[in-house]
Amino acid sequence: ELNHQMAMDELITTEANYVHNLQLCIFDIHHHLQKKQLPEIDLEGLFSNIDDILQVSKRLLKGLEASVNQGQEQLFHISTLFQELKAEMENVYKIYCGDYDQALFLLDIYSKEPRLQKEIMETLTTTVPHTGATNLSFFLVMPVQRITKYPLLLQKIVENTSDTDSAYGALQAAATAMTDVNANINEYKRRKEIADKYNKA
């Protein structure tokens, strides 16, 4: 029972932290860089559709937090939430993860330009000094990592749920749904890489 609660708490707490970091990335870092008006820095290329990621994550967090006082119904609520958001999560994360390599490529270019590197560092130390982030990739990698965590976090809840529990099947389905989302994202990225290579040729 204790492990079960811990597994659920971990899902909700880490989601709250994640949403907080996305907000820092968009409302502090991105806006600060925007104000600098540096035409050489491709903000769209760096941040992709991170706004969409935040929107879906906020809805997920709201649903997770609403499930807390639902007692026995909590597991059903969490399972349904992931099933309902599955298609949207897949769509927004596909785009973000598909663009991520390009964002890293851009960061690499900017890191070789002392003036641009200085501007980016100045933004980080001004807006998010408490994070200790010395590179923009500290934030940009978060969605890429987070989407892979959902199947694991849900699987952990499944493992700590009795298979006689009425919500067991629904939880398993939610974990499988998130595993499928990740498989589809990887397939999308693979195809995109092939297409990009082909277009360059």
Average pLDDT, the chain: 95
Identify whether 197 is part of a domain: no
Identify whether 194 is part of a domain: no
Identify whether 153 is part of a domain: yes
Residue 70 vs residue 156, higher pLDDT: 156
CATH number at residue 129: 1.20.900.10
Nearest to 144 by CA among 116, 182, 117, 118: 182
Residue 169: helix, strand or coil by DSSP?
A: helix
**To 10 degrees, the CA torsion angle through 59, 62, 64, 67?**
-130
pLDDT tens digits for range 1-36: 778 889 999 999 999 999 999 999 999 999 999 999
pLDDT of residue 155: 97
Residue recorded with tokens 């597991």: 75
Give the DSSP letter string of 14-26. HHHHHHHHHHIII
Identify whether 47 is part of a domain: yes
Identify whether 106 is part of a domain: yes
Quote the percentage of the chain above a pLDDT of 90.
90
pLDDT of residue 63: 97
**Total domains in the fold of the chain:** 1
pLDDT of residue 101: 94
Domain that holds residue 142: 1-188
Instruction: Enter the DSSP assignment of 164.
Output: T
Residues 39, 95: Cα–Cα separation, whole Å: 23
Residue recorded with tokens 């309902």: 84
Non-local CB neighbours of 83 within 8 Å, separated by 6+ positions: 173, 174, 177
Identify whether 196 is part of a domain: no
Identify whether 49 is part of a domain: yes
Burial-class residue 114 by CB neighbours within 10 Å (0-12, 13-18, 19+).
exposed
pLDDT of residue 197: 83
Instruction: Enter the DSSP assignment of 162.
Output: -
Identify whether 67 is part of a domain: yes
